[in-house]
Structure 1
Amino acid sequence: MNLRTVLSACAACAVLLLVALAAAIAFGGPTRPQPMLSISNPFRNVDYSALPPLSHYAARDGTQLAYRRYAPAGGAAARGSVVLVHGSSANSQSVHPLAQSLAGAGFAVYALDIRGHGDSGPHGDIAYIGQLDDDLQDFTGSVRPPRPSTLAGFSSGGGFAIRVAGGARQALFDNYLFLAPYTSRRAASFRPNAGGWVAVGVPRVVALTLLNRIGVTRYNHLPVVAFAVGNASAAGLVGTYSYALVTNFQPDEAYQDDIRAIREPAAVLAGVDDEVFLAARFAQVFAEAGRPDIPVTLVPGSGHIGLTLDAQARAAVVAAVAKLDAATRPMPASASQAPAPIGERAY
């Protein structure tokens, strides 16, 4: 085979690869799964009459991002604070009963509308991977939650909490509580398609991952996952996530490194009957990451959404936060202002 033939073959392969990438990006997006009623139906019985109004803080790009504040019951001084991060597709309203329970126990509670959700910018997308980390630092710097402070994330929000807890800005909070957290599609706790909650546009994910590895990010706004919600816009939910948002709203790809790098007190809670994740395997996930010391508690009788709605589960969350606070050594309030370069990670 002469050189000209080899070069022609290489050129043909390159053309085929470009065509395949273009096709995956253009046509490889997700299809909407059927609504998952076990996720949506429990909210029908929630009383939102005491839902606090939205407040806003300015992120570094000038965007006004939303949150709800719950004052400690009875006007008492806060015994500490809890910042709640909702799950995928949702917003601050979804953790209302849990926030009420924590406020009733004397905590100042802040329920966030993560960027891309609720009243925090356009739904389903962010500007760059790492923007959510920046937003969280901007929140703590602006609002200054009372110490000791706990970041408690649910489901995908729990995965984001793992990302923060194992990253360069973990000192923003004194404690971390992971509620039925998403860790990775490769983790032992993951059910296929999250039990029917998500559909992934695998071809597009693969193509965009390859492009990101060579620094091409211009297509990161394209949707790559769809959620099993009905009329998402009518319900104030988010139907799809872009590549940038789904990548940022979870642990890093090397999720075990994130878990291994956690230095602040942390704990895991999940419902025994979780239909999205395999709750009985959360202990295995953390042990395999080298952190069997992070306790995992399973709440009887609770499913995935029930972990934030059921009275028994909410009481377990309150007890877990109190236990973390009892063991923590609060950082100075100024620690929440410590700058971190955009996108910086530490392991």
Structure 2
Amino acid sequence: MKPVSASPLPQSFWPISPRHLYAMLIPAILLLAGFAALAAAIAWGGPRDIAALDSVNTPFAGVDFSQLPPVQRYTARDGTALAWYGYAPVAAAGAEPLRRVVLIHGSSSRARSTHVLAQALAASGYAVAALDMRGHGESGPRGQAAYVGQMDDDLEDFLRAVPHAGPQTLMGFSAGGGFALRIAGGPLQGLFDRYVLLAPFLHQNAPTARPDTGGWAAVGVPRLMALTLLNQLGIAWWNHLPVLGFALDEASRAGLTPHYSYTVASNFRPRGDYLSDIRNARGHICIVAGQEDELFHAERYAGLFAQAGKSVSVTLVPGVNHIGLTLNALAVRTIAHACQG
């Protein structure tokens, strides 16, 4: 018998041609590679460790905290007890009713870091409420918040829990100044009639920003970009991971916040379109900064706000650096005067 030779299957036998199969596989491979890159960015793309920045860490060693008021607490809408410190006015500031200054600390910090400034404001006749913002000091787990916008809600909850009959100023330093701008340009802007921004952080790409915030902050760019993409898709599962680290020394790490989660880093600042916050801001706004600020280009604030269509008063205090703005005697007197308008 003659052996039967195997013959190749006709091309029409294959449900998908090899060329079409390759065309389908390539996008799938690219998609898998994209998922792998995204996973790697989330897992290993966090902020790097950076050297301590002495100009931020050391000035507080000489501060007298013996007159720090006792910590008080209010309950936020999620049931968390958040901390704040009250400073009673020493003398009347002028026309009644009494003005209250709600004081917001800077990045990584806490309310007690504003003690010298708060005392100066109280001595000028203002009631002062210095807040430990959520994720800082004694207000919840450090560096964490449940959602972007929770810190805005906390501020509104404070004003309801600790009401004040007179006018109110929101004053923020550094990242706290950026947060104050966020409030001024958002739906809660009517809660205050004045906003005082002290050397405010506006945006990492703003003309006022120095590289790495003058050595103070390290951003985990891969993780930040990955989480931003996921949040645009409505996925917030990994928002608790750190994306921002600060140049703290060992002595400071115990009381301050070494890292910010994606949530806190996105909330404790202006919105991503910070120019819209400037344009949308209502109420009287003024800026005070140190002429020798090493974290930001203080001389650029006035021009940036003017380009955004917002004319604001900008005062630069000579011989004063970033932290010195809240500690230097001339600086705190200048800030107290800025509250008066």
Residue number in structure 2 paired with 1:300: 318
Give, in whole Å, the separation in 2 of the partners of 1:68 and 1:47. 16
Which of 170, 179, 186 matches 2:189?
A: 170
1:73 alignment counterpart: 90
CA distance in 1, matches of 2:104, 2:45: 30
Q: Report how far residue 78 of structure 1 moved.
A: 6.8
CA radius of gyration, larger in: 2
| Aligned CA-pair RMSD | 1.4
Counterpart CA distance in 1 for 2:306 and 2:131 is 30
Give the counterpart letter for 2:114 in structure 1: V
Q: How does 1:44-123 map to 2 (within 5 A)?
A: 44-73=61-90, 79-123=98-142
One-letter amino acid of the counterpart of residue 130, structure 2: A
- The DSSP-based 3-state class of the residue aligned with 2:250 is coil
* Matching residue's letter, 1:201: G
- The residue number in structure 1 matching 2:8 is none
How far is 1:146 from its partner? 4.1
TM-score (norm 2): 0.92
- Counterpart secondary structure, 1:124: coil
Of 263, 277, 280, 2:299 maps to: 280
**Alignment partner of 1:201 out of 220, 224, 245:** 220
1:40 to 57, 62, 67: 57
State the number of aligned residues: 322
**CA positional deviation for 1:48:** 0.5
For residues 233 and 258 of structure 1, the distance between their equivalents in structure 2, rounded to whole angstroms, comes to 32
For 2:169 and 2:254, how far apart are their aligned partners in 1? 29
Identity of aligned residues (%): 51
Verify: 1:268 aligned to 2:287, yes or no.
Answer: yes
Structure-1 separation of matches of 2:270 and 2:22: 46
CA distance in 2 between partners of 1:212 and 1:237 (Å): 28
TM-score by length of 1: 0.90
- How far residue 147 of structure 1 moved from its aligned partner, in angstroms, is 2.1
CA separation of 1:322 and 1:159: change in aligned 2, threshold 3 A: same
User: Would you say the 8 A contact 1:78–1:108 is kept in 2?
Assistant: no
What is the one-letter code of the residue matched to 1:25? Answer: I
1:161–1:178 contact (8 Å) kept in structure 2:
yes
| Distance in 1 (alpha carbons) for counterparts of 2:138 and 2:295 | 26
Structure 1 position 4, deviation (Å): 2.4
Quote the offset at 1:296 in angstroms: 1.2
Q: Which amino acid aligns with 1:167?
A: G
C-alpha displacement at 1:294, in angstroms?
1.3
Q: How does 1:173-184 map to 2 (within 5 A)?
A: 173-184=192-203
Residue identity opposite 1:254 in structure 2? D
Consecutive unaligned residues of structure 1, counting only runs of 5 or more, are 324-347
Determine if the alignment matches structure 1 residue 125 to structure 2 residue 154.
no
The residue aligned with 1:327 is none
